[in-house]
Chains A and B, each alone.
Chain A
């Protein structure tokens, strides 16, 4: 390991700046390392010292042993005989933090490297030199790299300030005209270009043009350029969507140059956006100036590259903006499509609702039509029953006939199980299955009476016939009553409105309904929890229909619930001075959550082969009644607790509210 070079003078440290020792590290086998180090040191006088390591392992050991050293540059050789790949060796160097920040200069004697992809990919290769090298070139390279490193890593270091100008460019100018000109700002290059042109053509007049002047015209051949010395120019392109401003900040200083270079019609219209000061140069003038003054070529190239670079950057920017815009558009398109989907869904819901409403209206219409025949049928059934009683009474065996008829007509329902058991008893008593069945069907269960009748065939015939009439009348009455109920509930859909009545006691209405429904509520425990309610203005008949529907609903829910005794709770209170509230709770099986949002829609369900009006229509009517009263109905349900809450205004329905469908 060798150390060479010169240390910084004491004055450098004395100024109180942090002046770390800078070391350029040479990684090469001896004796080559010494040669490289010596030449490198010559380029780094006053900047950095040079240290050598025979290989990457030694290099790592060296920086570990001297943690205070800062390494701006590593020179590493990659000769053909190296067993390891150059990538691997550079990666090993990079394992040391201080080296991973250094620039890497590769010195190679190979014509081709296929072992540098990682280093290039990770931006760890800063310069490649061929060995052997021309004398002095290594010192020059090492210095340039070190200065570059200092300007980007140590801008505040006094050594950096001595080497690098305030704008970050190295104090030493590039040697080539082109790169030198490119380092200048646009205005300076333009000034130099114009100066060169004027040396050939003599002084050129300045043209002063106001804002809005078109300097070149889209679609027209360009045969002159305008050198812009002051002011701003925009480049616009006419498109189907109107004039597009493509460049403004990115307009070059020689307008028309690119079109001229391509011998094409102008793609843009160049328009002054401020007052401009320009110099007009025809194609021939420019040609002559360039031919006479060779150095003008570099200035033209620099101006062109500048303009191109600006426009290219602008184009890149536009590309990025376009991509972002496309993303935004795509996002909006998705949102629109989602909104469209929701609208379509809403439309379908509306159609569905309209369909239900139509069905409901149709049902109400049919119910209207059926009302009279059904009422007539119910009455006729009653008359037939009454008249039959009189006819039977006139029969020679009038007492027997009337008794059997009445018994059969009024026979209470029994389960088929009970009936079977009763029949078995009769069979056992009579010992004749066929006879027992006949007598049983005629309503005779008492064995003694059965025996008497069995011995009297004419009476048995009469009893059988009269029992048949009795059960037929009963079934007729039952059937017509059911039809009547159905028609009534359907008619409620289109019930005409009367005038609301004031001073109604809501509890009285509830109690009336409970009384009317007593037959259905026989097995249900009713719990009342009535609060103090003001008398309200309402349609009392409508409200009874409302309570009926809600109670029927609660009953139905209990009916199919298997757990224990059914319970319905009625809770009333006044949430505020202007409203009364009725809650009907049941402990039934609850309403299917999927159905819950639609329970207030009028509809028909076909379930297990039966058309049912119950749930849908009953609640739909309830909703209609509550709405017509200007109130609110809510339903919450979970298994074991369904709660319908009706809130009504004490003042009653809004005046012009129309309850009709």
Chain B
């Protein structure tokens, strides 16, 4: 089982930049990209079929035909994806949309464009760890992409892992 990270972003240069900044995770985490919501849903289906777990979704707010917030709200209602950490990566989302994302989709982080590569990696590591802790996933196979100290503390707390 691999942890999966989904990038939903309609602009190719931005996708490529995100992918490149997250290249250090690529060896251990399944990184998937989608340019629109239908593709994102296909990807989620594939991840599920392959037996992997969707751990983190990074969504642009502005998408063709819909908003990232609406997509996130949809994820929060889906058993397969409810546990995934949800991050909005956006140039500009107004206050109303952001409030909706927090209240209805359980938004975990808001990343403003342009982002800093280091901060982005720290954020992803932090969110993946939070996912592992919350979902009760055995952290050992994924330690390379986690905050090791935090992840191992659960191993110590729980005898069954």
User: Interface range on chain A: under 10, 10 to 19, 20 to 34, or 35 or more?
Assistant: 20 to 34
In the complex, are the beta carbons of A609 and B92 less than 8 A apart? Answer: yes
Instruction: Kindly identify, within residues 77 to 111 of chain B, every residue whose CB is under 8 Å from any CB belonging to chain A.
Output: 90-94, 97
In the complex, are the beta carbons of A438 and B26 less than 8 A apart? Answer: yes
Contact digits for B22-59, partner A, Cβ 8 Å, 1 yes 0 no:
01001100111111100100110000000000000000
Q: Is A458 positioned at the interface, with any CB of B under 8 Å from its CB?
A: no
In the complex, are the beta carbons of A609 and B33 less than 8 A apart? Answer: no
In the complex, are the beta carbons of B33 and A416 less than 8 A apart? Answer: yes
In the complex, are the beta carbons of A478 and B13 less than 8 A apart? Answer: yes
Q: Is A630 positioned at the interface, with any CB of B under 8 Å from its CB?
A: no
Q: Is B65 positioned at the interface, with any CB of A under 8 Å from its CB?
A: yes
Compute how far the CA of A413 lies from the CA of B10 in the bound complex, rounded to whole angstroms: 12
Chain B residues within an 8 Å CB radius of A468: 20
In the complex, are the beta carbons of B39 and A610 less than 8 A apart? Answer: no
In the complex, are the beta carbons of A420 and B62 less than 8 A apart? Answer: no
Compute how far the CA of A475 lies from the CA of B114 in the bound complex, rounded to whole angstroms: 15
Return A46 CB to nearest CB of chain B, in Å.
Answer: 98
In the complex, are the beta carbons of B19 and A608 less than 8 A apart? Answer: no
Return B37 CB to nearest CB of chain A, in Å.
Answer: 12
In the complex, are the beta carbons of A434 and B27 less than 8 A apart? Answer: yes
Q: Which residue on B lies nearest to A477, using beta carbons?
A: B13
In the complex with contacts A434-B27, A609-B97, A416-B39 CB distance below 8 A: yes
Q: Is A417 positioned at the interface, with any CB of B under 8 Å from its CB?
A: yes
Q: Which residue on B lies nearest to A607, using beta carbons?
A: B62
In the complex, are the beta carbons of B32 and A420 less than 8 A apart? Answer: yes
Return A381 CB to nearest CB of chain B, in Å.
Answer: 13
Contact digits for B124-155, partner A, Cβ 8 Å, 1 yes 0 no:
00000000000000000000000000000000
Contact digits for A405-423, partner B, Cβ 8 Å, 1 yes 0 no:
0000000010111011000
In the complex, are the beta carbons of A609 and B91 less than 8 A apart? Answer: yes
Q: Is A108 positioned at the interface, with any CB of B under 8 Å from its CB?
A: no
Q: Is A146 positioned at the interface, with any CB of B under 8 Å from its CB?
A: no
In the complex with contacts A416-B35, A420-B32, A608-B62 CB distance below 8 A: yes
Our pick among A479, A560, A610 for the contact of B13 (Cβ within 8 Å) is A479
Number of interface residues of B (CB under 8 A): 32
In the complex, are the beta carbons of B16 and A475 less than 8 A apart? Answer: yes
In the complex, are the beta carbons of B26 and A434 less than 8 A apart? Answer: yes
Return B52 CB to nearest CB of chain A, in Å.
Answer: 11
Q: Is A606 positioned at the interface, with any CB of B under 8 Å from its CB?
A: yes
Chain B residues within an 8 Å CB radius of A419: 33
In the complex, are the beta carbons of A415 and B39 less than 8 A apart? Answer: yes
Secondary structure class of chain B's binding surface, majority of residues: mixed
Compute how far the CA of A471 lies from the CA of B20 in the bound complex, rounded to whole angstroms: 10
Q: Is A437 positioned at the interface, with any CB of B under 8 Å from its CB?
A: yes
Return A479 CB to nearest CB of chain B, in Å.
Answer: 6
Compute how far the CA of A478 lies from the CA of B12 in the bound complex, rounded to whole angstroms: 10
Return B102 CB to nearest CB of chain A, in Å.
Answer: 15
Contact digits for A390-428, partner B, Cβ 8 Å, 1 yes 0 no:
000000000000000000000001011101100000000
Q: Is A441 positioned at the interface, with any CB of B under 8 Å from its CB?
A: yes
In the complex, are the beta carbons of A608 and B20 less than 8 A apart? Answer: no
Chain B residues within an 8 Å CB radius of A560: 64-65
In the complex with contacts A441-B19, A609-B97, A417-B39 CB distance below 8 A: yes
Return B121 CB to nearest CB of chain A, in Å.
Answer: 17
Instruction: Kindly identify, within residues 172 to 197 of chain A, every residue whose CB is under 8 Å from any CB belonging to chain B.
Output: none
Q: Which residue on A lies nearest to B12, using beta carbons?
A: A413
Chain A residues within an 8 Å CB radius of B13: 474-475, 478-479
Q: Is B120 positioned at the interface, with any CB of A under 8 Å from its CB?
A: no
Secondary structure class of chain A's binding surface, majority of residues: helix
Q: Is B17 positioned at the interface, with any CB of A under 8 Å from its CB?
A: yes
Compute how far the CA of A419 lies from the CA of B7 in the bound complex, rounded to whole angstroms: 14
Q: Is A95 positioned at the interface, with any CB of B under 8 Å from its CB?
A: no
Chain B residues within an 8 Å CB radius of A455: none
Q: Which residue on A lies nearest to B46, using beta carbons?
A: A420
Return A482 CB to nearest CB of chain B, in Å.
Answer: 9
In the complex with contacts A437-B26, A609-B93, A610-B91, A475-B65 CB distance below 8 A: no
Chain A residues within an 8 Å CB radius of B20: 468
Return A608 CB to nearest CB of chain B, in Å.
Answer: 5
Instruction: Kindly identify, within residues 439 to 455 of chain A, every residue whose CB is under 8 Å from any CB belonging to chain B.
Output: 441
Chain A residues within an 8 Å CB radius of B23: 441
Compute how far the CA of A438 lies from the CA of B27 in the bound complex, rounded to whole angstroms: 9
Chain B residues within an 8 Å CB radius of A474: 13
In the complex, are the beta carbons of B67 and A608 less than 8 A apart? Answer: yes
Our pick among A433, A471, A609 for the contact of B16 (Cβ within 8 Å) is A471
Chain A residues within an 8 Å CB radius of B92: 606, 609-611
In the complex with contacts A434-B27, A437-B26, A609-B62, A420-B43 CB distance below 8 A: yes
Q: Which residue on A lies nearest to B27, using beta carbons?
A: A434
Chain A residues within an 8 Å CB radius of B16: 471, 475
Chain B residues within an 8 Å CB radius of A417: 39, 42
In the complex, are the beta carbons of B32 and A609 less than 8 A apart? Answer: no
Q: Which residue on B lies nearest to A464, using beta carbons?
A: B23
In the complex, are the beta carbons of B67 and A415 less than 8 A apart? Answer: no
Chain A residues within an 8 Å CB radius of B64: 560
Compute how far the CA of A474 lies from the CA of B16 in the bound complex, rounded to whole angstroms: 11
Which residue of B13, B43, B90 has the most chain A CB atoms within 10 A of its CB atom?
B13
Compute how far the CA of A434 lies from the CA of B20 in the bound complex, rounded to whole angstroms: 15
Instruction: Kindly identify, within residues 470 to 490 of chain A, every residue whose CB is under 8 Å from any CB belonging to chain B.
Output: 471, 474-475, 478-479
The 6 closest A-B pairs by CB, nearest first: A475-B13, A609-B93, A609-B61, A416-B35, A610-B62, A609-B92
16 additional contacts, CB 8 Å, given A416-B35, A606-B94? A415-B39, A416-B34, A416-B36, A417-B42, A420-B43, A437-B26, A441-B23, A474-B13, A475-B16, A475-B17, A478-B13, A609-B67, A609-B93, A609-B94, A609-B97, A611-B92
A→B interface (CB under 8 Å)? 413, 415-417, 419-420, 433-434, 437-438, 441, 468, 471, 474-475, 478-479, 560, 606, 608-611
Mind listing 26 A-B residue pairs with CB under 8 Å? A413-B12, A415-B35, A415-B39, A416-B15, A416-B39, A417-B42, A420-B32, A437-B26, A437-B31, A438-B26, A441-B19, A441-B26, A471-B16, A474-B13, A475-B13, A560-B64, A606-B94, A608-B63, A608-B97, A609-B67, A609-B90, A609-B92, A609-B93, A609-B94, A610-B91, A610-B92
B→A interface (CB under 8 Å)? 12-13, 15-17, 19-20, 23, 26-27, 30-36, 39, 42-43, 61-65, 67, 90-94, 97
